[in-house]
Amino acid sequence: MTKVSMKVNGKPVSGEVEGRTLLVSFLRDTLGLTGTHVGCDTSQCGACVVHVDGQAVKSCTMFAAEAEGCEVTTIEGMANADGSLSTIQQAFQDHHGLQCGFCTPGMVMSAAALLAGTPKPTEAEIRHYLEGNICRCTGYHNIVKAILAASGQDVSDIGGDAIAAE
């Protein structure tokens, strides 16, 4: 067992891990931060995306020991200080960018990383960036729309929920 120490959502944490312990296991099992999810075992689905030193990382693909001394942000650290939803989180709710919620933490973390580097992404840039995040519920329509909206772009002409029976 090895001792690892890091900052998670701004708080210093440490714990004993095996060499093979994945960062996601450390977050979920040791720290009890169960918002980060595991949806596959081949680094494909993106449900486990967190930020490590500001970079979007699949936490199932990194050993806990590799995060020694790093600053880690998980979905639990994404809301505003007063507990209200951040702009991206609010956009996901406003535009129905989630259904079962399982891929959602990874989607939000990826969206935040995208917007940090590309403040006004095009639809194509968003779709390309989300290649590593799989959602089975939404058909991506409202996720892409939510990210466009979170970046301050007009989404009023994107079809969807406005058309309905009165």
Partner 1 sequence: MPKDHGIGASSKRREDKRFLTGKGRYTDDINLPGQAHAWFVRSQVAHGRLTGVDTSAAEAMPGVLRVFTGADFEGVGGLPCGWLVTDRFGQPMQEPGHPVLARGKVRHVGDPVAVVVAETAEQARDAAEAVEVEIDELPAVLDMKAALDPDAPLVHDELKNNLCYDWGFVEENRAAVNAAFETAAHVTTLDLVNQRLVPNAMEPRVALGDFNPATEDSTLYTTSQNPHVIRLLMGAFVLGIPEHKLRVVAPDVGGGFGSKIFHYAEEAFCTFAAKQLRRPVKWTCTRSEAFISDAHGRDHVTRIELALDAEGRFQALRTETHANMGAYLSTFAPSIPTWLHGTLMAGNYKTPLIYVNVKAVFTNTVPVDAYRGAGRPEATFQLERVIDKAAREMGIDPVELRRRNFITEFPYATPVAVEYDTGDYNATLDKLLEIADVAGFEARLADSKSRGMLRGLGLNCYIEACGIAPSQLVGQLGARAGLYESATVRVNATGGLVVMTGSHSHGQGHETTFAQVVADMIGIGEDMVEIVHGDTANTPMGMGTYGSRSLAVGGSAMVRATNKIIAKAKKIAAHLMEAAPEDIELKDGKFSVAGTDKSVAWGDVTLAAYVPHNYPLEELEPGLEETAFYDPNNFTYPAGAYACEVEVDPETGKVTVCSFAAADDFGNIVNPMIVSGQVHGGIAQGIGQALLEAASYDDYGQLLSGSYMDYAMPRADDVPFYRVDHSCATPCTHNPLGVKGCGEAGAIGSPPAVVNAVVDALQRAGHTGVTHIDMPLTPARVWAAMQG
Q: List contacts with partner 1 (CB under 8 A).
A: 18, 20, 28-29, 33-42, 44-45, 47, 74-76, 78-79, 85, 89, 92-94, 96, 98-105, 108, 123-124, 126-128, 130-131, 133-145, 158-166
Rounded to a whole number, what is the distance in angstroms from the first to the last CA of the chain? Answer: 62
Indicate the residue among 101 and 152 with the shorter CB distance to partner 1. Answer: 101
Q: How far apart (Å, rounded) are the C-alpha atoms in residues 157 and 56?
A: 30
Q: Please provide residue 144's backbone torsions phi and psi, each rounded to the nearest 5 degrees.
A: -60, -40
The Cα 63–Cα 115 span in angstroms is 26
Closest alpha carbon to 114 in 145, 147, 79: 147
Q: Cβ 102 to partner 1, closest distance in Å?
A: 3
Q: Which is nearer to partner 1, 12 or 124 (CB)?
A: 124
The least CB distance from residue 26 to partner 1, in Å, is 13
Using the minimum distance from each CB to partner 1, give the nearer residue, 29 or 68. Answer: 29
